[in-house]
Structures are given as C-alpha cells and as structure tokens.
Amino acid sequence: MAEFILEIGTEEMPARFVPKLAAELESVFSALLGEAMIENGGVDTHATPRRIVAHVADMAESQRTEEETVTGPPARIAYDGDGNLTKAGQGFAKTQGVAEGDLFRMETPKGEYLAAKKIVGGGKSVDILSGICVKSIESLSFPKKMSWGDYDFTFGRPVRWLLALLGDEVVDFSVENLVSGRETRGHRVMGAGPWTVNSASEYFSVISDKCKVVIDPEERRKLVVAEGNRLAEALGGKVVWKDSLLEEVANLVEFPKPLIGDIDPRYLELPREVLLTSMQSHQKSFGIEGPDGKLLPHFLTTLNLEPRDLALVKKGWERVLKARLEDAVFFWEADCKVDMKTWLDKLDKVVFLGPLGSMGDKTRRIGSLCEKLAAALGESKGILPGEIEKYRTAGRLSKADLVSEMVNEFDSLQGVMGGIYAERTGKGEIVSKGIYEQYLPAGADSPVPSSLSGALVSLADKADTLAGCFGLGKKPSGANDPYALRRCALGIARIIMDHGLDLDLRTVLEWAQAAYVDVKWKVAPAKALETLMDFFGQRLRALFTGKGFETRVVDAALGAGFSDIRTFEKRLEALSEFAAGDDFEQAVLTFKRAANIIRKQGDEAGQELTGSYDAELFEDEHEIALGSLLEETAARFAELWENDDFPGLLGMLRELRPTVDGFFDNVMVMCDNAALKLNRLNLLKALVDRLSRLADFNALQV
C-alpha cells in the first residue's frame, strides 16, 4: 500500500466555496477509485481559500484483478454450419484479447451466445490515477466558473499549481498549461515557497512547517474559538459566537490569528443588534459581551498572518469598523427623529408584487388578518378583548422599517429595527415583539417566533403572500420558487403546531383571500384555495416523511384532513404508533372493508347515506351488537377527541374491531330488502364517519 496526495492550488476562493469543494472532491474521488478497482483506506479531503486537497493514507499500487464473463454475438452467428468460427466470432475473440480456443457457448434467457472469460484489472495505480485526477478536477462544480488567459479550461478561480504524488512518485497529468508535479505553494506572506514535497508522506509536515498553512478547516475553527475565548476572558467577557460566521471565518484564512480590537464606548448606545450586524456583516468580526450580557467596547477579528506590528494592524481594523459605526449612528439618529406614521405613508409608494398593490396595502391586510386571528384565539391564548387592537397595530406597522435609513443600509435587520423603534416609542411589548419576530422562521432550521404576537404577524404575513401569489397563478414548479412559498407554508404549519394555535387552516386562508380588494385574479378564489390546500398537504407530507414517518401513515393522516394543523402532528404520531402494533394489518383490512362498501355501494343505495340508522330494523344479533357498541362509545369518543387523546381514540378501534368482524361474517349488507339494506349501509356509514376523522384507511395499503 502507498500514500497518495492531490493538491489543486488556486487563487483565493470565496469562503462559501471552500467546505463544499472539499466534500465534493471526497465524493467524486472515492467513486472514481471504486470504478477503477483501486483498493484504498478511504479518501480524506481538506480545503483552504487557496488549495483543495485529496489524501488517501493507504492505496493499492495496482488495480484489483477480477475474472468476468463477457458475451459476444449469438452462437448461430458466431459459428458456421461446420462449427467453425465466423468472422464475427473471430472478431469477438480479438476484441476481448483471448485465444479462439478459450471461447465457449453460453445459455442466456435470450438464447445461446458466444462467451469468453477474461481477467480485468491489474494495471498500475500510478497510471490510472492520472485520468482520475483530471476527471476529479473537471467535475468540481461552482455557482459560476471563470476563465483566464487564453485557456479554454474554466474553474471557480484560476488554478496556479497541481501536486500529485503516489508514494514518492509523481502522478503525471496536465490541465491546460499546468503539469502536475511535486511542488506546492505556501502562505503568501509567511511561507510563499515554492516548496518541494519529496513524497506523499511528507506533504502535511511541509504544509505545516514550511508553508505555514493550517490545512484542516476544523482545526482552524478550533484555533479561532480557543484563542478568541482566551482573549475575551482576559477582558472579563466572552465572545458572542455566531456559527455561520465562524465557519465563514475559518474558510477565509489559512493561518488564523485572532485579534481583539477596541471601539469607542459611545457606540454602545446603539442597539445591540446594530452593533453586532456592523461587526459581523461588514468586518467578519464578533462582539464581546460582559457577564451582564451587555456588549463591551471590544470586538474579535481574525487575521490571516502573524503581523510584525500587531498594534498597527489593530489600529487599522479599529479605524475601518469605526467608519461603519459612524454610519450606523447617523442612521440611528436619523430614524429616531421620524414618526413611524411617516414610514407608513412611504410604504404606499413601495410595490409589493405587481397587481397585489403596495407594501402599504400589504400591511393593512396583515393588520386586518392579525385582528381576526387574535379575536379567534381570544381567551384560549390569554388574549384580552382590549389587546386585540394591538395585534392589528403590530401587523400594520410590520413593514414600516423597510423605508428606514438603518434597514436601507443593513437589510438583514428588517423587522428587527421595526421592533426596536416600536419599543422605543412606547408601542408596547405586543406590538414590538410582533414586528421584531415577524420573519421567523427563516428556514427549516430557524426557530419560530417566541411570542404570540410574533407568531400571529408572521402567520398573517405568510398567509397574505400565499393567497396573493396563488391567486395570480404563481404556484412553485420544480425547484423554481422565487417567492419562497414553500417556506411560507412550512412556516405557517410550524407556527401553528409549536404554539398550539386552535385555528382552521382553510378559514385562515379564506380570510387572507378576502383581505384583498380590487385585484384581478388569474385564478378564481375557490380554485386557488383548493390548490393552496393541496399545496399545504404536499408540504406537510414532505415535512413528516422527512422526519422519518412512514409515507403511507402520513398519507392516511392527511387523508383524514389537515385543516386543524394544531392536532395533525399528534394524530400522526398516534397513528404511527398504532401502525407498529401486531394487529395493525388486520385492523386496517377490517375498517377498509367498511369504507370500501360505503364508497362502492353508497351510490347504488337509492338515496343519500346519512349515517342515521333505525335500531328497530336490526334483525341479526351482530348488527344489534354493532349498533349498541357505536351508541355506547359515542360519548367517550367525543370526550377523547375534545382532549386530543389520539392514542386513546385509536385504542378504541381495537374495541370495535371484533364486533365489526362479527358483523361482516354474519350479516348480509346488500340484501334484497331495500329498507334493510339502506339501514345497514347507514350503520356502516356511522362507523366510517367516525373512523375517517382519524385516518384514511384506504391509504394504508397492506
């Protein structure tokens, strides 16, 4: 076994490219080695802004050999009438590199064919790796590729060198004007090189000692965290870490050197969110907070070298951040002089979406919908009658900060600044929290609003967008979802479930549709609503199958209805547990049979089935037993449903099933007596109506 290393040296890559490239190279290189039958101990990859590396600690120096049977032309074509090989048979032997005497006849499902056994593999890895390296490099993907010089080859950034070694032997290949070799380049300032790598086993020591590069991104991350924490603790504080920024910083540098900078204490008068955004978004730096949670007049940044004059570099970073903070102070002071009503007036001149009016119109709709939602929830969520107007105000002011100076500069603070301004002007917690949290959840891993007002404003905003877009026929197709409607639907579902909101989804969407006035719809509201409900069903299906629930169980739960999203998850969990029981399949067959009879025979009954039956018409003891059991359990079923006790409700199916089985075994439903037949069908209809609230048993294929 030998050690292998491939290094692709480039100009600086954007930080967002780096981890993706390492993962992609690992996947591609592993697959190509498998296809080439080269045994190996696994591929490890590393990446920095200037290099992408594939490392295999143990690689076979030759391909694995295998014997395989290859079929050629049909025997009737490969041999003539005298049993001699025809030109077709001879050509097959020559093509496969086997002696004619080693050919044989082989029976296949398609008939008798000429065949040969041959040994494949056995080639030298160093020769095969040349093609693998080229394919790996060419297969790496980028959001946008670039070309340089007069070359046709494109890549994310210009490629400057290629190193490829198997043991101490160079793996020869070329990409455009670049030829692979044993030279690498180091840190631009601290170890530029070039440096010669005599063997693959030397590579990492050369990179670390001579090139002054920390090649492992996880190690770079740990260095930043450890040194950052140490520096912050020396000041009596701690770093306000942000994972996404930490990953970005670790992929911006090859030699991380954390540095503490200072800021003028007067800037601490700015809101915390503004300070952190100024540091994080523009300077890729972190804030430092004290034991009381308040920001200290310091920040943590990460250099990409060990500077000769640390004080000078520190001063430069402080000067750049100061300019940003001066801008933030200007925007803050300017916004604080403006009444929020002035911003509302400006929103009437900001277009929301084509025919759907202005952002001002949108906030009026959101406000109206928030009022209805708050009134509908009322005391169930502790909303007092006098507070309902505050929810309307939160919705009306939700987009006001979009025309503020601060959000114009720091767009990631939309909603956040509106909440801060509302709190500052005494609008109260309901209004300020509602505005502050309106954009949550911002994705699958993002939290939902913590406050009820934030939940209702977010829900209303998303429902308004969905109703408007579906009314214009802008339903997402494939991967195309420019208005993030899938995220809107999932956000609404998550908010309702997490906050336990007793709301009917269809009603909420109808309210959202009704809030639009003087809009020319491309899709009739009734049709748009049905399409929108189906869209929600698809999103819920994707959400819960993604969580590991069995597809047929999810479909069965959806089939019973999902307009009450609050209880849908509980019902699905109970159904999933019920499906794991030993008697599940037999129970499904029993209740599917009842549902199928109603579906198939209901239309032939001569009149509509209502589920109302006359016990006086019962003749057989088994139909009497089923009718009695339905009557006896009705109140308990209603109580369990009221208490959302879905495990208890599904447990009742086990009580019902023996009686239902007895009914089917002994009672002729489709008898000749029309009155008797209709009564029995209505008895089954009463059973099916009750069960259909729990699950669509026809979806549970067994």
User: Which CATH number covers residue 627?
Assistant: 1.10.730
- Report residue 701's pLDDT band, with 50, 70 and 90 as the boundaries: low
The verdict on residue 568 lying in a domain is no
Rg of the chain over all Cα atoms, to the nearest angstrom? 35
The amino acid sitting at 61 is E
Give the integer Cα–Cα distance in Å for 47 and 28.
15
Domain limits for position 223 = 217-336
Per residue, the 3-state secondary structure of 208-224, as one string, reads HHHCCCCCCHHHHHHHH
- Kindly state whether residue 346 falls inside one of the protein's structural domains: yes
| pLDDT one-digit tens code per residue, 294-310 | 999 999 999 999 999 99
Higher-pLDDT residue of 654 and 601 is 654
User: Exposure of 547 by Cβ count < 10 A (0-12 exposed, 13-18 middle, 19+ buried)?
Assistant: exposed
Who's near 573: CB < 8 A, 6+ residues apart? 646
Mean pLDDT of 492-500: 95
pLDDT surpasses 60 at 702: no
pLDDT of 664 reads 83
Mean pLDDT value across residues 476-496: 92
Q: By percentage, how much of the chain surpasses pLDDT 70?
A: 99
* Mean pLDDT across 667-695: 84
Alpha-carbon distance 163 to 185, whole Å? Answer: 10
Q: What average pLDDT does the segment 313-338 reach?
A: 94
Compute the Cα dihedral for 644, 650, 656, 660 and give only its sign. positive
Same domain, yes or no: 256 and 221: yes
Comparing CA positions, the residue from 133, 126, 120, 106 lying closest to residue 43 is 133
Specify whether the CB–CB gap between 9 and 160 falls below 8 A: yes
CA atoms within 13 A on the CB side of 180: 23
Closest CA to 366 of 475, 508, 471: 508
Task: Give yes or no: residues 387 and 536 share one domain.
Answer: yes
Task: Judge if 455 and 519 occupy the same domain.
Answer: yes
Please choose, from the candidates 136, 184, 176, the residue with its C-alpha nearest in 3D space to the C-alpha of residue 158: 176
**Where do runs of H (alpha helix) occur along 479-559?**
485-499, 505-514, 525-546, 551-559
Strands (E), 75-197: 104-108, 111-120, 159-166, 169-170, 174-175, 178-179, 183-184, 195-196
Check whether residue 115 and residue 241 sit in a common domain: no
Overall domain count for the chain: 5
pLDDT beyond 80 at 64? no
Q: Which of 33, 12, 31, 57 is nearest to 165 (CA)?
A: 57
Please give the pLDDT value at position 667. 83
Distance between CA atoms of residues 110 and 250, nearest Å: 59
Tens-digit pLDDT profile for residues 35-46: 888 888 899 999
Which whole number is the average pLDDT over 399-418?
Answer: 95
Q: Say if residue 700's pLDDT is above 80.
A: no
- Per-residue pLDDT tens digits for 622-662: 888 988 888 888 899 999 998 989 999 888 888 888 888 88
Query: In terms of C-beta density within 10 A (0-12 exposed, 13-18 middle, 19 or more buried), how is residue 86 classed?
Result: middle
Q: What average pLDDT does the segment 216-238 reach? A: 96
99/175 same-domain check: no
Domain contains 24: yes
Pairing outcome for strands 43-48 and 174-175 = unpaired
Q: In what order do the strands lie in the sheet with 51-59?
A: 43-48, 51-59, 2-10, 159-166, 169-170
- Token representation of residue 202: 């030397």
| pLDDT score recorded for residue 354 | 85
Tell which of 336, 356, 389 closes a domain: 336
pLDDT value at position 661?
85
Q: Using one digit for the tens of pLDDT, what is the confidence trace for 339-377?
A: 999 999 999 999 998 899 999 999 999 999 999 999 999
> How does residue 604 score in pLDDT terms, banded at 50, 70 and 90?
low
Same domain, 137 and 7: yes
CA distances from residue 647 to 549, 583, 613 in whole angstroms, order as listed? 16, 15, 28
CA distances from 563 to 489, 540, 616 (A): 13, 11, 38
Peptide bond into 441 cis (omega under 30): yes
Residue 28 in this model has a pLDDT that exceeds 70: yes
Longest dimension (CA), the chain: 105
Q: Are residues 206 and 247 in the same domain?
A: no
Same structural domain for residues 112 and 147? no
Distance CA 47, CA 9 (A): 10
Helix (H) or strand (E) holding 647: helix 646-666
pLDDT of residue 654: 82
Helix axes of 217-234 and 243-250: crossing angle, nearest 10 degrees = 120
**Mode of pairing for the β-strands spanning 66-74 and 104-108:** unpaired
Residue 505 is part of a domain; what is its CATH number? 1.10.3210
Q: What is the pLDDT of residues 442-465, one digit of tens each?
A: 887 889 999 999 999 999 999 999
Nearest to 435 by CA among 331, 565, 343, 573: 343
- The pLDDT score that the predictor gives to residue 12 is 94
Residues 578 and 680 in one domain: yes
| pLDDT above 90 as % of the chain | 65
Residue 286's pLDDT is: 97
pLDDT score at 606: 59
Mean pLDDT of the chain: 91
CA distance 662 to 625: 9
Question: Does 82 map to a domain?
Answer: yes
Say how far apart CA 442 and CA 186 lie, in whole Å. Answer: 40
Q: What are the residue ranges of helices labelled H in 164-293?
A: 203-205, 217-234, 243-250, 272-277, 283
Q: Please report the pLDDT score of residue 620 as a whole number.
A: 85
Q: How far apart are CA 61 and CA 267, in angstroms?
A: 63
pTM here is 0.80
Residue 514 within any structural domain of the chain: yes
Shared domain check, 98 and 29: no
pLDDT value at 605 more than 60: no
Task: Give the Cβ contact number of residue 601 at 10 Å.
Answer: 16
pLDDT of residue 75: 86
What percentage of the chain's residues is helix, strand, coil (to nearest 5)?
55, 15, 30
CA 394 – CA 436 distance, rounded (Å) = 10
Tell me which of 78-87, 115-124, 136-145, 477-486 is least confident.
115-124
Cβ proximity of 459 and 495 under 8 Å: yes
Strands (E), 249-305: 257-262, 286-289, 295-303
Cα separation, 241 vs 352, whole angstroms? 35
| In a shared domain, residues 81 and 130 | no
What does the pLDDT read at residue 106?
Answer: 87
Q: Could you tell me the strand order of the sheet in which 104-108 lies?
A: 66-74, 111-120, 104-108
Q: At what angle do helices 674-691 and 646-666 cross, to 10 degrees?
A: 160
Q: Has residue 567 been placed in a domain?
A: no
Question: Could you tell me the pLDDT band of residue 99, with boundaries at 50, 70 and 90?
Answer: confident
Tokens standing for residue 186: 């180091």
- Comparing 13-17, 102-106, 495-499, 592-596, the range with the smallest average pLDDT is 592-596
- How far apart are alpha carbons 652 and 641 in whole angstroms? 12
DSSP state letter for 141: -
Cα–Cα distance between 526 and 44 in angstroms, integer?
A: 56
Last residue of a domain, one of 298, 313, 336: 336
Tell me how many degrees the CA angle 122-128-132 measures, rounded to the nearest 5: 140
End-to-end CA gap in the chain: 51
* Residue 487 confidence (pLDDT): 95
Write down the H helix ranges in 305-358.
310-336, 340-347
Closest by Cα among 207, 288, 219, 286 to 251:
219
Q: Which of 497, 514, 548 is the last residue of a domain?
A: 548
Q: What b/e readout covers 188-214, taking b as 16+ CB neighbours within 10 angstroms?
A: eeebebebebeebebbbebbeebbbbb
149, 197: one domain: yes
The pLDDT of residue 34 is: 87
pLDDT-wise least confident of 45-59, 84-98, 212-226: 84-98
Q: Residue 564 falls within a domain, yes or no?
A: no
What is the pLDDT confidence band of residue 125, given thresholds at 50, 70 and 90?
confident
**Interatomic CA distance for residues 523 and 436, integer angstroms:** 34
CA distance 272 to 78: 83
| For range 425-441, the mean pLDDT | 96
> Does 65 score more than 70 pLDDT?
yes
Do residues 196 and 183 make contact, with C-beta atoms less than 8 angstroms apart? yes
Provide the 8-state DSSP code for 280. Answer: I
By three-state DSSP, how is residue 275 classified? helix
Q: Which residues pair with 170 in a beta bridge?
A: 165
DSSP 400: G
> Is residue 492 one of the residues assigned to a domain?
yes
